[in-house]
């Protein structure tokens, strides 16, 4: 297949799979893959949105590429998706819809809270709905950072300014939770960015729209023009699943199929889907979180979790602490804020270049710390590596470059 959509698909796959520059031509991408990728980018649902089905199709394509390259050239090499070839990445995010509720509302819903939290709140010792600092401290204890998306006019910004500045000072991200009307209007978006920047003294670089409002014909363009680094709105709210069938960062296409500078971090799961829409028990909800993560890990993907900050003292919402502990126990995952994930993904984009002489690859720039190559060779031929190390892990040959002068050579390969 050729044409602009096929060229977009080839670029998408080269970036997504960490392929050597120029190794995939538009004509090499199977027609069904171009069709599905281009239709989901324009807003059609994927064949199966209960699983990361399109990501799994992309993974199968990777296996085909690998097989034919090993047959024809004697080797195949790609950049692993995550630092140290982590099996998956987890992006922790919190929308800040509310920071307080009227006393009569709190009395009505008091059973949602533990008796001790309720009584402390009655005595003015804690806030039940403003948990920004609490979440930051508990995440810090596990060694994680996250993103908080603040609305620009739903609550007085002076009430969150001090927390937001502490977040920034300690390496957490403060982004924009887009107010109503921002997802399809450049003017409204510009106003919201200005209000938030002035209100808390931080210019937002990451974004999630309130209620996951998204218009495939407009939103990415509005976000790009407002200068955002990434968006993480595209997900489902009334059911579990993967709206695009995708589970990795990507550059969305513009109207003519050119990739935008903006990155999309597809949303994988939202806490309120479990309790608000699906009425899960805590036990069922925890199972859903684990199952969704397992599906993402199967495709070496990104699991983007949205957990509303107002919910962490409530039934259901309090499971967040359990999720954090589970992630910390699983050593070797890449866990971070949207800002950290997006920064990694851009740094990983350093070109991997086939060099003259065959069987040789180098980098067209400095590889970021943690960047790892996954290598397959015919009959397990040993590579020669300059400025780097070879690591064997669970039957895989990984190569860890240590600088600009890195060179990988596979003897006898073409």
Q: What angle do CA 390, 371, 220 make, to 5 degrees?
A: 155
Closest distance to Zn ion from the beta carbon of 94 (Å): 10
Whose Cβ is closer to Zn ion: residue 81's or residue 210's? 210
Q: In angstroms, rounded to a whole number, what is the distance separating the alpha carbons of residues 58 and 32?
A: 11
Using the minimum distance from each CB to Zn ion, give the nearer residue, 94 or 136: 94
Q: Report the alpha-carbon distance of residue 268 to residue 305 in Å, rounded.
A: 6
Which residues, at least 6 apart from 374, have a Cβ–Cβ distance to it below 8 Å? 77, 78, 79, 80, 85, 396, 397, 398, 399
Q: Which residues contact 294 (CB under 8 A, 6 or more apart)?
A: none
Report in angstroms how near the CB of residue 314 gets to Zn ion at its nearest: 16
Q: Residue 180 or residue 257: which is nearer to Zn ion going by CB?
A: 180
271 or 339: CB nearest Zn ion: 271
Min dist. Cβ of residue 104 to Zn ion (A): 23
Least CB distance to Zn ion at residue 208 (A): 8
Q: Smallest distance from the beta carbon of 95 to Zn ion, in angstroms?
A: 4
Residue nearest to Zn ion (CB): 210
Q: How far is the CB of 287 from Zn ion (least distance, A)?
A: 25
Write down the least CB distance from residue 98 to Zn ion, Å.
9
- Tell me the closest approach of the beta carbon of residue 299 to Zn ion, in angstroms: 28
**309 or 337: whose CB is closer to Zn ion?**
309
Rounded-to-integer distance, Cα 378 and Cα 402, Å: 25
* Nearer CB in complex with Zn ion: 15/95: 95
Q: How far is the CB of 389 from Zn ion (least distance, A)?
A: 45
Q: Nearest approach, Cβ of 97 to Zn ion (angstroms)? A: 4
Whichever of 95 and 297 has its CB closer to Zn ion, that residue is: 95
CB closer to Zn ion out of 26 and 276: 276
Q: Do residues 96 and 309 touch, judged by C-beta distance below 8 A? A: yes
Q: How far is the CB of 118 from Zn ion (least distance, A)?
A: 24
Tokens representing 19 are: 């392929």
Nearer to Zn ion, 210 or 251 (CB): 210
Task: Return residues touching Zn ion (CB under 5 A).
Answer: 95, 97, 210
Q: Which is nearer to Zn ion, 191 or 330 (CB)?
A: 191
Beta bridge partners of 3: none
Nearer to Zn ion, 95 or 300 (CB): 95
């Amino acid at each position: 297949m050729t044409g602009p959509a096929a060229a977009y698909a080839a670029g998408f796959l080269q970036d997504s799979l960490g392929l050597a520059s120029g190794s995939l031509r538009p004509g090499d991408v199977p027609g069904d893959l171009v069709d599905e990728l281009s239709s989901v980018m324009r807003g059609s649902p994927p064949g199966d949105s209960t699983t990361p089905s399109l990501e799994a199709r992309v993974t199968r394509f990777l296996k085909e590429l690998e097989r034919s390259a090993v047959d024809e050239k004697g080797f195949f090499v790609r950049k692993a998706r995550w630092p140290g070839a982590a099996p998956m990445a987890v992006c922790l995010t919190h929308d800040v819809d509310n920071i307080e509720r009227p006393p009569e509302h709190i009395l009505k819903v008091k059973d949602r809270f533990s008796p001790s939290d309720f009584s402390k709140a009655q005595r003015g010792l804690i806030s039940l709905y403003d948990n920004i600092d609490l979440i930051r401290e508990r995440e810090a204890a596990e060694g994680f950072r996250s993103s908080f998306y603040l609305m620009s006019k739903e609550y007085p910004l002076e009430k969150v300014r001090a927390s937001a500045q502490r977040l920034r000072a300690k390496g957490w991200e403060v982004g924009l939770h887009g107010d109503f009307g921002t997802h399809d209007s450049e003017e409204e978006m510009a106003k919201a960015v200005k209000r938030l920047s002035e209100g808390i003294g931080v210019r937002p670089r990451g974004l999630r729209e309130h209620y996951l409002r998204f218009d495939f014909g407009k939103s990415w363009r509005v976000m790009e023009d407002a200068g955002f680094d990434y968006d993480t709105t595209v997900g489902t709210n009334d059911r579990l699943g993967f709206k695009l069938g995708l589970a990795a960062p990507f550059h969305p296409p513009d109207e003519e199929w050119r990739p935008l500078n903006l990155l999309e971090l597809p949303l994988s799961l939202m806490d309120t889907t479990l309790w608000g829409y699906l009425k899960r028990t805590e036990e069922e909800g925890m199972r859903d979180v684990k199952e969704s993560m397992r599906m993402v890990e199967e495709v070496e993907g990104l699991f983007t979790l949205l957990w509303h900050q107002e919910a962490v003292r409530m039934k259901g919402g309090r499971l967040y602490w359990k999720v954090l502990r589970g992630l910390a126990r699983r050593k070797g995952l890449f866990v971070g804020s949207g800002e950290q994930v997006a920064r990694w993904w851009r740094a990983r984009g350093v070109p991997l270049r086939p060099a003259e002489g065959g069987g040789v690859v180098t980098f067209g720039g400095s590889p970021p710390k943690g960047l790892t190559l996954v290598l397959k060779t015919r009959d397990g031929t040993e590579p020669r590596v300059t400025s780097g190390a070879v690591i064997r892990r669970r039957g895989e040959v990984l190569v860890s470059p240590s600088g600009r002068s890195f060179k990988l050579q596979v003897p006898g390969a073409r």
